[in-house]
């Protein structure tokens, strides 16, 4: 079992040596290595069994450090960084020559963000390099929102887990590219498009799926998937489903399952009747996003084989939740 704790000195030492360290962020736990060291970056792809065509995001401690990693810093990037960093926003910009091609999967652009986690920001501020850090889980599986998720899935492949409890947002960052002066979302995430549009004063275009040559993480049709088969739930199906079948409801209140529910182990997702799961208690999208990945993992822990799920409202963070559910349920 690998070491786990809050030792920033040890984390810095290991990362400087080219080792792998899991780091907490407000979105999910990341599997971090020196993003400018190709050998260290190769270790990320190997540990996750991640295909090298899927680019990584560089995590930085400041806007100045972000600017050093790209050849262009447009006004829109500055507006967004000033408004939302640190926070769940990744910017796609033309990469500087010293950023390895392996980090960007051969793309001429690089994804950069400043995570909103005090422990990780403190670590980043002590390092002379950015951290490449995709989610700390086997490629294609549910993203980790707790240190224990990382320990369970990657075991001895990681040299250290920097543990800062549960992730507050619980869903990956929103990824925005700025092309020809226009903002384009490549991945829905923990920052709503409405807030981005409000800051920029223009609508955000969409380009969410690129299977053959993804420009950013999270663009593959199948991703974030538990072993349990997921099937979207329609109103017409509800009456026909056996009561013992697992169902993920967006809102406990809307599902009208009564008030006698709780989590059997004190965690943040809500269970009822042994097989019904609730992402939120009253339809709050922030709570639902925070609980989504833990709930998907719980399906596998409970040995569920098939689970039906209810879509979130298709607005704000609900769109990002639905994006993850759609990819998790995708059957090639």
DSSP notation for 213-225: S-SSTT-SSS-S-
- Residue 241: pLDDT band (50, 70, 90) is low
Would you place residue 215 in the very low, low, confident or very high pLDDT band (cuts 50, 70, 90)? low
For residues 225, 228, 230, 233, the Cα torsion angle rounded to the nearest 10 degrees is -140
**pLDDT on residue 245:** 76
Integer Cα distance of 128 and 132 in angstroms = 13
Domains and CATH numbers, the chain: 3-206 (3.90.870.10), 229-329 (3.40.50.11030)
Task: In whole angstroms, give the CA distance from residue 28 to residue 146.
Answer: 8
pLDDT score, position 263: 39
Mean pLDDT check: name the lowest of 45-59, 198-212, 287-301, 312-326: 198-212
Decide: helix, strand or coil at residue 30. Answer: strand
Weakest-pLDDT range from 8-12, 192-196, 241-245: 241-245
Residue 257, judged by CB atoms within 10 A of its CB (0-12, 13-18, 19+), counts as middle
Which tokens belong to 240?
A: 């026909």
Mean pLDDT of 68-76: 96
Q: How many CA atoms does the CB half-sphere of 155 hold within 13 Å?
A: 1
Helical packing angle, 147-154 and 285-301, nearest 10°: 30
pLDDT of residue 212: 47
Give the pLDDT of residue 268. Answer: 42
Contacts of residue 301, Cβ cutoff 8 Å, sequence gap at least 6: none
Check whether 262 has a pLDDT greater than 50: no
> What proportion of the chain, given as a percentage, has pLDDT over 90?
65
Least confidently predicted of 79-93, 119-133, 312-326 = 312-326
172-188: average pLDDT = 92
Out of 85-94, 259-268, 281-290, least confident range: 259-268
Picking from 113-122, 154-163, 239-248, 293-302, which range would have the lowest pLDDT averaged per residue?
239-248
The three-class DSSP label of residue 276 is strand
Task: Flag whether pLDDT at 274 surpasses 80.
Answer: no
pLDDT value at 265 more than 80: no
Residue 181 pLDDT > 90: no
Structure-model confidence comparison of residues 258 and 172, the more confident one:
172
| pLDDT (average), residues 173-202 | 93
Q: By mean pLDDT, which of 215-219, 221-225, 277-281 is the weakest?
A: 215-219
Q: What is the mean pLDDT of the chain?
A: 87
pLDDT score of 279 = 93
Identify the band that residue 271 occupies on the pLDDT scale cut at 50, 70 and 90. very low
Is residue 243 helix, strand or coil? coil
Name the percent of the chain lying above pLDDT 70: 85
């Amino acid at each position: 079992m690998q070491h786990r704790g809050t030792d920033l000195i040890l984390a810095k030492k290991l990362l400087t040596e080219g080792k792998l360290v899991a780091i907490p962020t407000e979105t999910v736990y990341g599997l971090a290595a020196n993003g400018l060291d190709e050998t260290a970056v190769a270790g990320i792809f190997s540990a996750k069994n991640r295909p090298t065509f899927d680019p990584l995001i560089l995590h930085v401690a400041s806007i100045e450090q972000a600017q050093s990693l790209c050849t262009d810093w447009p006004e829109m990037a500055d507006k967004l960084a000033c408004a939302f960093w640190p926070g769940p926003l990744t910017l796609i910009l033309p990469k500087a020559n010293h950023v390895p091609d392996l980090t960007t999967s051969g793309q001429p652009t690089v994804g950069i963000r400043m995570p909103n986690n005090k422990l990780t920001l403190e670590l980043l501020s002590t390092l002379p390099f950015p951290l490449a850090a995709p989610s700390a889980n086997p490629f294609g599986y549910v993203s980790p929102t707790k240190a224990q998720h990382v320990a369970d899935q990657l075991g001895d492949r990681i040299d250290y887990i920097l543990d800062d409890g549960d992730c507050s947002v619980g869903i990956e960052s929103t990824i925005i590219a700025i092309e020809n002066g226009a903002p384009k979302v490549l991945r829905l995430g923990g920052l709503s498009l409405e807030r981005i549009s409000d800051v920029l004063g223009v609508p955000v275009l969409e380009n969410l799926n690129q299977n053959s040559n993804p420009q950013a993480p999270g663009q593959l049709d199948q991703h974030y998937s538990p072993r349990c088969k997921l099937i979207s739930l329609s109103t017409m199906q509800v009456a026909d489903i056996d009561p013992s079948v697992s169902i993920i409801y967006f809102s406990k209140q809307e599902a009208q399952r009564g008030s006698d529910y709780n989590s059997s182990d004190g965690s943040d997702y809500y269970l009822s009747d042994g097989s019904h799961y609730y992402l939120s208690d009253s339809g709050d999208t922030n709570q639902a996003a925070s609980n989504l990945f833990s709930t998907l993992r719980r399906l596998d822990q409970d040995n569920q084989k098939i689970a039906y799920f209810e879509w979130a409202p298709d607005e704000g963070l609900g769109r990002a939740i639905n994006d993850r559910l759609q990819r998790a349920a995708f059957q090639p």
